[in-house]
Amino acid sequence: MANPSILILAGDGIGPEVMAEVKKIISWYGDKRGLSFDVSEDLVGGAAYDVHGVPLADATMAKAQEVDAVLLGAVGGPKYDVLDFSVKPERGLLRLRKEMDLYANLRPAQCFDALADFSSLKKDVVAGLDIMIVRELTSGVYFGTPRGITTQPDGSRVGINTQVYTTEEIRRVARSAFELARRRNNKVCSMEKANVMESGILWREEVQWVHDNEYPDVELSHMYADNGAMQLVRRPKQFDVIVTDNLFGDVLSDCAAMLTGSLGMLPSASLGAPMANGRPKAMYEPVHGSAPDIAGQGKANPIACILSFAMALRYSFDQGAEASRLEKAIEKVLADGVRTADLMGPEGGKPVSTTEMGDKIIDAL
Amino acid sequence: MANPSILILAGDGIGPEVMAEVKKIISWYGDKRGLSFDVSEDLVGGAAYDVHGVPLADATMAKAQEVDAVLLGAVGGPKYDVLDFSVKPERGLLRLRKEMDLYANLRPAQCFDALADFSSLKKDVVAGLDIMIVRELTSGVYFGTPRGITTQPDGSRVGINTQVYTTEEIRRVARSAFELARRRNNKVCSMEKANVMESGILWREEVQWVHDNEYPDVELSHMYADNGAMQLVRRPKQFDVIVTDNLFGDVLSDCAAMLTGSLGMLPSASLGAPMANGRPKAMYEPVHGSAPDIAGQGKANPIACILSFAMALRYSFDQGAEASRLEKAIEKVLADGVRTADLMGPEGGKPVSTTEMGDKIIDAL
Ligand SMILES: CC(C)[C@H](C(=O)O)[C@@H](O)C(=O)O
Ligand SMILES: CC(C)[C@H](C(=O)O)[C@@H](O)C(=O)O
């Protein structure tokens, strides 16, 4: 049987640096655990724009459709801020999400014991935190039409975006959330603004329908998204799985990410429908951005990107045990006090470089 | 000259209880400070539905248009959850906002020294916090059309809401933010998702235009709303005034509110254009909801509602000094250790009732 295939799109800023460490980990799995992958690489974001004049070339898009998993680093940088909306680095990312139809964005917010002090929240509020936000990723107001800016005869302008959700778009992402909940603490909280948005009413009703007809064993609750933001800050451990739409998910998952205090630690998975081989279409990426301010200096924390590969092992390659092995190795390295610059506390100490962190994790494996 | 007029809409749940304390304060100002108001009262929300079959009667709407300020308690309750969208208690509130054209929602997030321990955030992160979120309140995706749910021939459904912003809608709320900043620390941060939404691009450009042409002396920055949620959790004191749209403002202001740890403390003002007498159209309301679980038990904290009246003194009646007097009286009462049930720490003690809290504040005045 052919090796499973991975397309690496390292992107911009610190993307290539953190991805270099992931490549070391992938090689380790081939050498030491007999888990070999066919790895290819290509460009995305500003890096693709520089070469092709677009943030994602058609040929790259075609490759992404064929592989078993895409690993993405990060996109964007000040150099590209002046570009037109249509060719901005983010459009490359959005095109991947949309054309691969990666509708379920899994964003774990987990607080590592060794790093609980990093949170701006009190330790007892976040220690042991382990929630999973499932964000709908290919529809809603970031994708709906009509959209655009029009100029009126008097010179004033109107900006329009459209939030559209269909029954099926809601049901499929709800199923992802319920499936995850069954393997976790069996609780789903769905968030919308059904009190002011009809698309929120539809969201609530369809999630309830999936629950009643397919997952009656999972505990389901509904919460308005504004209250959701409050509750995440007030008592985040009340949640297990949260399912919400593209826009609320964007804001709430970043809010939840920051509860953990260490953005450099958080991975994500974006999953679509199963392919012919049974694997879901999938892209994995760290939650952090391209951090142009520290790019090229060996300061970046590669852990979020490595944990994204752990998610790939779990969700694309059915290697849950190997994923746990990798996660444990990272916990060990952190418990040993190894820290990249972003994880340095006020007590100081000497930070390790991106490469050193990768090496330490391989040692711990 | 006639006394300034106030319409009290106490609404549902704890609304009438907390408003009773505000009425005591209003009387105190008439008796002791020669500041008399013409106060009338009417129904809103579920209370209005019970009598009129709608959450805001036309006659009430007409009164609201005529007075100098509306004070609103809270709307909603489980009894009304079954009602159709069009007559739910919230629609009464939304109608007031829309027809009075209260486009600027001022939501201060302030951390009271005596209560800093209540926050789920570390004390040094929130102590002394004083930010002002200006949320656009009458446009955006909560109001735009087309909207609704349609059923397809195959039985599946589509839910639609539309985010629409015009040049003028953005500029006027931006002006409110810049004006406030000038009286505070002279900094405005505008939040949107210009990287994925054209309405966000328009937002950013128009806010920048108002800055460059009318308020070049105020420091302006722009931030994506997802990053905004992160930064609010990570380092909230970096902000002075935040200006953002209706939906992001809804979520971000609730997130910011929770940073302070005491929702029962937070007021809000919703302001529109100046009326003939120079006063802005205005409605003042606490940020907390109707709290049906504790309604009628004398447990509610009236401070948010009283602080909303303080905002009325400041923004509608040009009585900034009297507003400060009232705010100081509240600080004193808190410093003296007087606490309603919601403000009881783990160390225990005996909470005061809603009425007792009102009395203590009057004593301190
Ligand atoms: C980069 C941007 C387009 C993206 C989004 O808004 O979806 C990012 O914020 C994210 O959360 O993945
Ligand atoms: C009650 C509801 C309609 C309202 C809103 O969403 O605007 C509330 O959440 C608020 O923030 O004032």
Q: Note the pLDDT tens digit of each residue in B290-334.
A: 999 999 999 999 999 999 999 999 999 999 999 999 999 999 999
Chain A CB contacts of B167 below 8 Å: 156-158
Tens-place pLDDT, residues B107-148: 999 998 888 888 999 999 999 999 999 999 999 999 999 999
Please check the confidence at residue A346 and state whether its pLDDT lies above 80. no
Pocket test for ligand 1, best of A70, A75, A94, A258 (most atoms within 8 A of CB): A94
Gap from A74 CA to chain B (nearest CA, Å): 15
Tens-place pLDDT, residues A61-83: 999 999 999 999 999 999 998 89
Overall average pLDDT of the A310-320 stretch: 97
User: Domains, chain A, ranges and CATH?
Assistant: 1-113+262-365 (3.40.718.10)
Q: For the purposes of burial, counting CB atoms within 10 Å of the CB of B34, is it exposed (0-12), middle (13-18) or buried (19 or more)?
A: exposed
pLDDT band at A114 (very low <50, low <70, confident <90, very high): confident
Q: Pick the residue with more confidence: A345 or B101?
A: B101
What is the 3-class SS of A34-78, one letter each residue? CCCCEEEEECCCHHHHHHHCCCCCHHHHHHHHHCCEEEEEECCCH
**Is A156 at the interface with chain B, CB within 8 A?**
yes
Instruction: State residue B118's pLDDT score.
Output: 87
Three-state secondary structure call for residue A202: helix
Overall average pLDDT of the A276-298 stretch: 95
Gap from B195 CA to chain A (nearest CA, Å): 7
Please check the confidence at residue A1 and state whether its pLDDT lies above 80. no
Q: Is A47 within 8 Å of A53 (Cβ atoms)?
A: no
Of chain A, the percentage scoring pLDDT greater than 90 comes to 92
The H or E element containing residue A129 is: none
Instruction: State residue A310's pLDDT score.
Output: 98
Asked if B193 is an active-site residue, the reply is yes
- Ligand 2 centroid distance, CA of A21 (Å): 46
Which phi and psi angles does B188 have, rounded to 5°?
A: -125, 135
Contact A230 B167 (CB under 8 A): no
Instruction: State residue B349's pLDDT score.
Output: 81
Which phi and psi angles does A151 have, rounded to 5°?
A: -105, 130
**Is B195 at the interface with chain A, CB within 8 A?**
yes
Least confident stretch, A127-136, A144-153, A256-265: A256-265
Instruction: State residue A156's pLDDT score.
Output: 97
Instruction: State residue A243's pLDDT score.
Output: 98
Residues of chain B predicted below pLDDT 70: 1
| Edge-to-edge order in the sheet of strand B38-42 | B38-42, B5-11, B69-74, B280-286, B267-274, B104-110, B130-136, B241-244, B187-192, B219-224
pLDDT band at A12 (very low <50, low <70, confident <90, very high): very high
Question: Nearest C-alpha to atom 3 of ligand 2 is from which residue?
Answer: B90
pLDDT band at A5 (very low <50, low <70, confident <90, very high): very high
